[in-house]
Amino acid sequence: MELDLFREYGHRFVDWIADYYQNIESYPVLSQVGPGDIRRQLPLSPPDEGEDMERIFDDFKKIILPGVTHWQHPSFFAYFPANSSVPSLLGEMLTAALGAQCMVWQTSPSGTELEEVVTGWLRQMIGLPEGFVGVIQDTASTATLCALICARERSTDFSVNRYGFTGGEKPKRLAVYSSEHAHSSIEKGAKIAGFGREQVRLIPVDEKLRLVPEELEKSIQRDLASGITPCCVVAALGTTSSMAVDPLRPIGELCKKHGLWFHVDAAMAGSAAVLPEFRFIMDGVEYADSFVFNPHKWLFTNFDCSAYFCRDAGQLVNTFSITPEYLKTDVDMRVKNLRDWGIPLGRRFRALKLWFVLRFFGVKGIQDKLREHIRLAEEFAGWVQQDERFELVTPVSMNLVCFRYNPGKKKLSEGELERVNKALLDELNAGGGMYLTHTKLGGKYTLRMCIGQTSTGRKQVEEAWKRIRSAKLEA
Ligand SMILES: *Cc1c(COP(=O)(O)O)cnc(C)c1O
């Protein structure tokens, strides 16, 4: 290894990164390049001869950086946060340095055992009952796919794994249920796992955009009557559009009554359960078979790190385990081999950065940060309500404010409102000072202000509101 080079550039990169964070507000949040702008500056073929590190680093700054959207910018309010932190970065650096493959216990015992410990810590932090065991997956999408495959196998006595969907003695059609506001990863997972999009039921929601349990029951009954086997319900703890919280208890009771797998998708809102005053969102979680939340969204741990919890690890292992000769080890009966706990064989040592984050901030430090984000969201929502030209589209939920420009006196149609609000969004994002995204709620074009970046404070939220109010609001 070129260790001298590593020492030199390692130190310079750390300095560059510290400067980057210090000056991050001088970059436009949303990358301002157009399609093809980056590719056009890069050679079509790889270099024959090795190049100088200085030139590569220069090109990173000159060519690559302008094509980056700055997710760690404190005025990033789009989609959901993917917040990082200093302890996370330092932990990630060590993970990259070790370059360990944590596929089986023997290939890095610490990889497996630290993952057991930190997912156990997370379980306690969010109030999941004892008996749930955790494993780190790359994303919530993968975790939900794992849940759907486990549900499929439990419903069919592991016959799909064995024969495929149509090869068994009694081929079944299996249905999956979620609210019409649930995340797209459920439909994607249902397609990949072989349920078929036609067997995904999108259940209506109430005025707060929460799944209506009575509608779920009706849908289950309809499937039973037509010979389709209800298999799995995915509840959303914090929908992506509006952070709506499906009522876990009545949904869980229905799952129990009909013998359905109950998966809870708490990708972002799981973090809120770290706060005692938001623990109520977990009411009924004891009915769940599986649960996922993303420390890589709103828990200061850099992407990727998704925590998947399941009630019955045996179910998971029986669904995914394949042990070819070359993967057998002498200790297999005494340890966990996490390759059997998910889809990929190879696994990154993700537990390390999470361990750094949890130890460095402590539960109290994390609670303080989450509370501040939620307080800022409430303050922002208050400003929206006080300005008669704006309105909240739904009540503020945790760290998300759904709002829009709508001067009631002007009586704009939905079409006009969409046009004006889209123009507002485009103007704000093109300015580079902040980044917001939109959704549609009950047909209404809605702006989403999601507050969760590690370094976001009152200053940035106040500036955002100023920018929104002083935008050119024609119509
Ligand atoms: C972000 C999000 C997902 C997808 O998470 P990935 O980790 O990117 O797959 C799924 N569900 C909800 C509710 C989300 O907010």
Residue whose Cα lies nearest atom 8 of ligand 1: it is: 139
Q: What is the pLDDT of residues 9-50, one digit of tens each?
A: 999 999 999 999 999 999 999 999 999 999 999 999 999 999
CA of 189 to the centre of ligand 1 (A): 12
> Hey, which of 71, 137, 138, 141 would you mutate to test ligand 1's pocket, going by the most ligand atoms within 8 Å of its Cβ?
141
* Mean pLDDT within 369-381: 98
- pLDDT for position 475: 58
CA-based nearest residue to 354, from 272, 299, 292, 309:
299
Would you state the pLDDT for residue 124?
A: 98
Give the architecture-level CATH label for domain 100-348. Answer: 3-Layer(aba) Sandwich (3.40)
**Is 183 a pocket residue for ligand 1 (Cβ < 6 Å)?**
yes
| pLDDT score of 313 more than 70 | yes
- Of 373 and 326, the structure prediction assigns the larger pLDDT to 373
If pLDDT is split at 50, 70 and 90, which confidence band does 184 have? very high
pLDDT mean over 379-387: 97
Pocket flag, ligand 1, residue 306 (CB < 6 Å): yes
Strands of 285-443, DSSP E: 290-293, 306-310, 390-392, 400-405, 437-441
- Expressed in angstroms and rounded, the spacing between residue 363 Cα and the centre of ligand 1 is 23
pLDDT of residue 245: 97
Cβ 267 under 6 angstroms from ligand 1: yes
Task: Provide the β-strand partners of residue 133.
Answer: 310
179 Cβ closer than 6 Å to some ligand 1 atom:
no
Counting atoms of ligand 1 from 1, which one is nearest the CA of 238?
Answer: 13
3-class secondary-structure state, position 435:
strand
User: Cβ(399) to ligand 1 under 6 A?
Assistant: no
For ligand 1, is residue 315 a contact (CB within 6 Å)?
no
* Residue carrying structure tokens 């009952």: 129
pLDDT computed for residue 43 by the predictor: 97
Given its phi and psi angles, is residue 43 left (phi above 0), alpha (psi -120 to 50 degrees) or beta?
beta
Q: Considering the chain, what percentage of its residues have pLDDT values greater than 90?
A: 91
Digit-coded pLDDT (tens) for 225-281 = 999 999 999 999 999 999 999 999 999 999 999 999 999 999 999 999 999 999 999
pLDDT at 328 over 90: no
The three-point CA angle 452-454-460 to 5° equals 70
pLDDT higher than threshold 70 for residue 157: yes
Q: What's the pLDDT at 353?
A: 98
Q: Give the pLDDT confidence of 48-83 residue by residue, as tens digits.
A: 999 999 999 999 999 999 999 999 999 999 999 999
Every domain of the chain and the residues it spans: 100-348
- The answer, yes or no, to whether residue 104 has pLDDT greater than 70, is yes
Average pLDDT over residues 135-157: 96
Of the pLDDT bands very low, low, confident and very high (cuts 50, 70, 90), residue 169 is low
Q: Does any ligand 1 atom lie closer than 6 A to the CB of residue 159?
A: no
Q: Among 136, 138, 185, say which to mutate for ligand 1: greatest number of ligand atoms within 8 Å of CB.
A: 185
CA 250 to chain centre: 25
- Please tell me if the CB atom of residue 92 comes closer than 6 angstroms to any atom of ligand 1: no
Closest CA to 400 of 378, 371, 422: 378
pLDDT at 37: 98
